[in-house]
Amino acid sequence: MLKNKHILVTGGAGFIGSNLVQELLAQGAHVRVMDNFATGRRENLTEFLSNPKFELFEGDIQVVEDCQKAVKGIDAISHQAALGSVPRSIAFPHNTHSTNATGFLNMLHAAKEEGIKRFVYASSSSVYGDLAISPKVEGVEGSPLSPYAVTKMLNEQYAGVYARLFSMETVGLRYFNVFGPKQDPNGVYAAAIPKFLDKLLKNEAVTINGDGSQTRDFTYVKNAVRANVLALTTDREFNGSAVYNVACGESFTLLEVVEALREGLVQRGIHSTAEVVHGPERPGDIMHSLAKIDRITSEIGYSPLYTFPEGIVEYVSNYPVDNH
């Protein structure tokens, strides 16, 4: 269904974006990546540069003209471009808003002007905010706990408005703690799993904010890619907008995650002596996050390709250890 379709992936040099590009090309699609490389990495795209169906457009979603150029000749969009990280959004809310909210609106409007109907985009489990109910179900959200969460809620609202006003089909994917290859372990805003693994390999202290009992529905990146492909290709008549949880439907504590990574390294013959230390709780953090995935399963046929343990095994077994 994707063969010879022209798909735009914004943020395609990022972690989830580059994994998605790989799968779209494998299914025969023509893929144009739009990225400004603020957080995306050029090395994530190196393997695609010789593919005649791959095109790189260096542009910024905060620039209206760039968005207009990027959508020319495109059949559908997967909008992955964003400034991630709750702590970064608290420290730099204007940057987060400009990229995640204004940039999102720029892309959505450019798609509408070009007559592109299917607009798939990355939302986030952060939209559930302070909601105590677990598991999280679409349609029952709490109050946001960070500027990042506000921008993702705003994305969903804009997508809904454009779907109603202009007969677009907008599909928001609420990612739950995605991990996997091409995820950067470096930097102050690095995600937990690659950062933990990097520290274990270096035999350096693994810092967990809080007591480590907080739980997350960790989701291997190939599950997120699968959700995007289904959202781009489904024949379902959305009659407007839809939002879906993208997860596994199981949760694990951060302490369990560290031990799973440690065990994965043991299977490679690597025995880490790194200790776990505890730092202060982070403002804006959600204590427990677990998804209900019935809706995405029933409506577009999603089911996790990998459980969390299976994802950890594949991730650790292929993780490059030469530079540690």
Beta-sheet strand order (sheet of 169-175): 54-58, 30-35, 6-10, 76-79, 118-124, 169-175, 241-246
123's tokens: 């939302």
212's tokens: 């480590």
CA dist 144 and 128 (Å) reads: 7
Catalogue the E-assigned strands of 51-143: 54-58, 76-79, 118-124
Catalytic residues: 148
At 8, the amino acid letter reads L
Q: Do 78 and 7 form a contact (C-beta atoms < 8 A)?
A: yes
Q: Do 125 and 133 form a contact (C-beta atoms < 8 A)?
A: no
Q: Do 126 and 145 form a contact (C-beta atoms < 8 A)?
A: yes
